[in-house]
Structure 1
C-alpha cells in the first residue's frame, strides 16, 4: 500500500484522501447505531450521497440530517464536515507535528498543496494557525448562536445545535440538524443571519488572507500614529485583490437580489426595507458556496436564480473552505479583459504584472470547469427527462460549485442523476485543476518553438 501511495503524484494523493474519507464516512453513517429507531427507511446509496456532500462541503441532501441521524450520527456528520473543510492531509500533518514527528519533503509538498500554500516557509506554524483560526472562530460563533438556541431548544440541544451549525457554516457545508427547511424559520432573525453570514464569509475568505489581516492589524495597532494606508499597504497583493473582489461581489449581489425580488410577494415583497436587505445580503453570502437558505428557490424569479448561479460559479477565495472557480480566477479574468481593452501587453494589478503562468492556469480552470458542467448537465437532461431543465441546471451548478442550494430537486433524482451530482460535488471540492492534474499529470521536457500570431476575428 505504501509503495502504491509513493508512486502517486501529489494531486493524486490529495484526491485519494477525499475518497478514503467518503468511503469510511458512508460506511459509518449507514450503520443502524447512528440512526433514530423510528427514522425513515434509507439505503447505503442515500448515505453515500449525503457523505459525499458533507466531505465535499456542499449541502445537497436526499434527507434531512436531523430526521435520520441520532446524536452519534450527527457527531460523525460534524467530523466529516470538519475534515472536508480542512482536508484529511492537514489533519494527519497536524497530528504528526503534535507528536513531534518530522515530515519528509514529499509529505511537505502534499501539505502545501492541501493548504493552497505556494512555499514551505514556516509550514508548521502556518498549519497550526489554520487550526487556531478555525476552532477559534467556530467557538466564538457557537457561543453567539447559543444566545438564541438555548432558550429555543433547551440547554443540551441548544449547545449541540450551535456547535453543529457553527462547524457547518464555517466549512461552508450547508448542513443543519434543524429539519428539512434549512434556516427559513430564521429568515428575520438578525442574530442568526449575522452569525451564519460571518461564518460563511470567514471560511470562504481563505486562511492566508486571515493571517495577513491579523499581521496587518497587529502592525496597525502598534503604529504611532495609526495610519489606515499603512495597514492597507501591509497586506499582500493577493489579500488586497481578494478583499476588494469580495466586497464588490457582496455589494452588487445584495443590490441585484433586492432589485429582482423586492416585488416578489412569495419571497421578500411583504418585508420592510431593512428586512429585505438582510435577506438579500444573506442569500448573496450563502451563494459563496455555503448552501443555507432562508427563502425557497422555487419561489424566486428565474432572473434571480440566474444571478445566483453566476455567484455560485464565482465561489469564494483560494485556500479556504469555499468552492466555485474562486474569486481570484474571476479577478484575473477581469484584469485580463481590461488589459485587452486598453491594449496593454501585460495584465497588471497595483503596478505589478500578473504572471503568464497564473493566467494560463486561470483559463485552464475555466475551460475544465465549464466543460465538466456542460457534459454533466446534458447527461442530467438525458437521465431526468421529467424534471424541470432550469431546476436541473441550478442543481448541477450548485453541486460543482459545492454550494448545496436546490430548487427542492435533490430527493427526486434517479440513481443515475445522483451519481452525476456526486461526481460534480467531488470535482468541485477537490478542485478542477487538482482533478485534471491527477488524471493527466506527466513529466514532460520543456521545448521552445518559434512564435506565431493568429487572427481571432
Structure 2
C-alpha cells in the first residue's frame, strides 16, 4: 500500500524538487561558461531558499539566462510553490480540494483553514503590486547610470530580490560581491529596498489583517500586534546599537546622515534580506554578534523571511519574564499564550540552536584555519536565510558547502516543518508515567 504523503512532506519535497530543477538549469552551457554540480546546487538552494549566499558573483559569472533562472527561483522560493500553484489553478478555473486548502494553510502559516484561496489571491496581487512599485522606483535610479533597458532590468531584479528577502544582486559590474555598497549614500535606493524587505518580512497573515482592519490597532490579531511591535523594536534597536558599535569604525568615513542611513539599512537587511551597504568583513566583534542575533530571529511567520521568527522570540521572552516575575501565565495585549504555543516556540528555538552548534563544529573540524567569528556569521546567515557574508563562502570546502546547503534548506523548510508537525493531533495515552521533580537552573 502506497503511503500518502502528509502536507508537511509535500512542502519539503516540493522545495527540494524546485532546487533540483534549478540546479539542472544552472548547469546548462548557456547559463554560464562553466559551473560544477555542487556550485550550481549551492546557488539554486540559495535562490530557492531566498538566502543570497553565493560562490560566484551573480552579475559576472551567470549569463542573462542564468540570472533569470535565479530570479524565478527567488520568486518561487519567496512566495512558495504551493501559493503559486493554487493561484494558477484558480486562474484556470480549477476546483481547489480540501487537501489543497490544507496545503495552503500550512504553506503560509495561516491560522485557519477557511479563506485560504482568497488569501492566496491577495498574496499574489500584493506581491506584484509592491514589487512593481519598487521596480519602477529602482529602475528610474539605475537608468541614470546603466541606461533605460539595463536600468529597468536591474530595477525588476532587485525589487523581487528585496521583497522576497533574497539578497541577490547583479551590480557586480561596479564592484564584484559588493552588493549595494556603491549605493550606500543613495537615499531612494536605500529606502525602497528597506521598505520592500520590511513588507516582505511581515507575513501574509499580517498583510490580510492590516488590509481588513486598516489602522485600528486594537482590533488586530494578536500575531499582527506582536509582529508589528517586535519588528519595530528590532529595527530601531538594531540600528541604534549598530551605530554605537561602528560610528568610529566602519561608519567613520561617512557623514552623520549617511552613517544613520547605513545603520538603519544594516539593521533591516539582517532580518534575512542579505543586502549590505558597508563592508561586513571589517566589523567589530560586538557588531557581528548583534547581526547574528538579528539573523537568528529573522522575520515573521508566513512571510518571505527566515529565522526562528519574531513571534517565536517574543513568546519565549514574554514567557521567561512571566516566570521570573512569578506569574502563572504568559500574557501579551490582554491575551494568554497556551502551552502548545510555548512548546512550539521552545522547540523551534532549541532545534535551530542545535543546527548552529553542530554545523559550526563540522565546518571547524573540516576547515580549522577559518576564523571562528566568520564561520559563526556564515552559519547564522545560512540558517536564517539571510545571505550576508564576511567573504568566506568562496573559501568553503566541499563538506562545508554541503553543510551550508543543508542549513539554507532547513532554514527555509526545517523550522516551519517542525512547527507544523507539532500542531498535528497526537495519541493521548490513558496511562501516564508518575511525575518526579528534578532541579532546574
1:453 CA displacement: 4.2
Q: Does 1:193 align with 2:190?
A: yes
Residue 324 of structure 1 corresponds to which residue in structure 2? 307
Kindly report which structure 2 residues correspond to 1:172-211, keeping only aligned pairs within 5 A, or say none.
Answer: 172-179=165-172, 180-211=177-208
Q: Is the 8 A contact 1:94 1:127 kept in 2?
A: yes
2:271 to 261, 283, 288: 288
Q: Is the 8 A contact 1:346 1:353 kept in 2?
A: yes
Q: Distance in 2 between matches of 1:171 and 1:401?
A: 14
2:331 to 332, 348, 352: 348
Residue 57 of structure 1 corresponds to which residue in structure 2? 50
Residue 167 of structure 1 corresponds to which residue in structure 2? 160
Residue 255 of structure 1 corresponds to which residue in structure 2? 240
The number of residues matched between the two structures is 435
TM-score w.r.t. the length of structure 2 is 0.95
Residue 225 of structure 1 corresponds to which residue in structure 2? none
Judged with a 3 Å threshold, the aligned counterparts in structure 2 of structure 1 residues 441 and 316 are, in CA distance, closer, same or farther, namely: closer
Q: Does 1:128 align with 2:132?
A: no
Q: Does 1:419 align with 2:419?
A: no
Q: Does 1:142 align with 2:135?
A: yes
Judged with a 3 Å threshold, the aligned counterparts in structure 2 of structure 1 residues 14 and 44 are, in CA distance, closer, same or farther, namely: same
Residue 13 of structure 1 corresponds to which residue in structure 2? 10
Q: Does 1:380 align with 2:363?
A: yes
Q: Distance in 1 between matches of 2:280 and 2:333?
A: 39
Q: Secondary structure at the match of 2:311?
A: helix
Q: Distance in 1 between matches of 2:6 and 2:40?
A: 30
Q: Distance in 1 between matches of 2:211 and 2:437?
A: 47
Q: Secondary structure at the match of 1:340?
A: helix
Q: Distance in 2 between matches of 1:369 and 1:85?
A: 20
Q: Secondary structure at the match of 1:399?
A: helix
Residue 351 of structure 2 corresponds to which residue in structure 1? 368
Which deviations, in whole Å up to 9, do the C-alpha atoms of 1:117-175 show, x marking residues without a partner?
Answer: 12121111111001111110000001111121111111111001100000001000110
Q: Does 1:47 align with 2:47?
A: no
Q: Secondary structure at the match of 2:30?
A: helix
1:441 CA displacement: 10
Q: Where in structure 2 are there 5+ consecutive unaligned residues?
A: none
Residue 228 of structure 1 corresponds to which residue in structure 2? none
Q: Distance in 2 between matches of 1:367 and 1:122?
A: 32
Q: Is the 8 A contact 1:15 1:435 kept in 2?
A: no
Q: Distance in 2 between matches of 1:111 and 1:214?
A: 19
Per mean C-alpha deviation after superposition, the further-off stretch among 406-415 and 105-114 is: 105-114
Q: Secondary structure at the match of 1:408?
A: coil
1:104 CA displacement: 2.1
Q: Is the 8 A contact 1:376 1:420 kept in 2?
A: yes
Residue 446 of structure 1 corresponds to which residue in structure 2? 428
Residue 228 of structure 2 corresponds to which residue in structure 1? 243
Q: Is the 8 A contact 1:314 1:327 kept in 2?
A: yes
Q: Where in structure 1 are there 5+ consecutive unaligned residues?
A: 221-230
Q: Distance in 2 between matches of 1:75 and 1:154?
A: 19
1:234 CA displacement: 2.2
Q: Does 1:390 align with 2:352?
A: no
Q: Distance in 1 between matches of 2:99 and 2:367?
A: 44
Residue 224 of structure 1 corresponds to which residue in structure 2? none
Q: Distance in 2 between matches of 1:415 and 1:452?
A: 47
After TM superposition, where is structure 1 displaced by more than 4 Å over at least 4 residues in a row? 435-438, 440-444, 450-453
Q: Distance in 1 between matches of 2:223 and 2:426?
A: 30
Q: Distance in 1 between matches of 2:425 and 2:322?
A: 33
Residue 275 of structure 1 corresponds to which residue in structure 2? 258
1:73 CA displacement: 1.8
Q: Is the 8 A contact 1:58 1:404 kept in 2?
A: yes
Residue 223 of structure 1 corresponds to which residue in structure 2? none
Q: Distance in 2 between matches of 1:435 and 1:236?
A: 23
Q: Distance in 1 between matches of 2:111 and 2:25?
A: 35
Q: Distance in 2 between matches of 1:331 and 1:397?
A: 19
Q: Distance in 2 between matches of 1:330 and 1:64?
A: 34
1:108 CA displacement: 1.6
1:34 CA displacement: 2.2
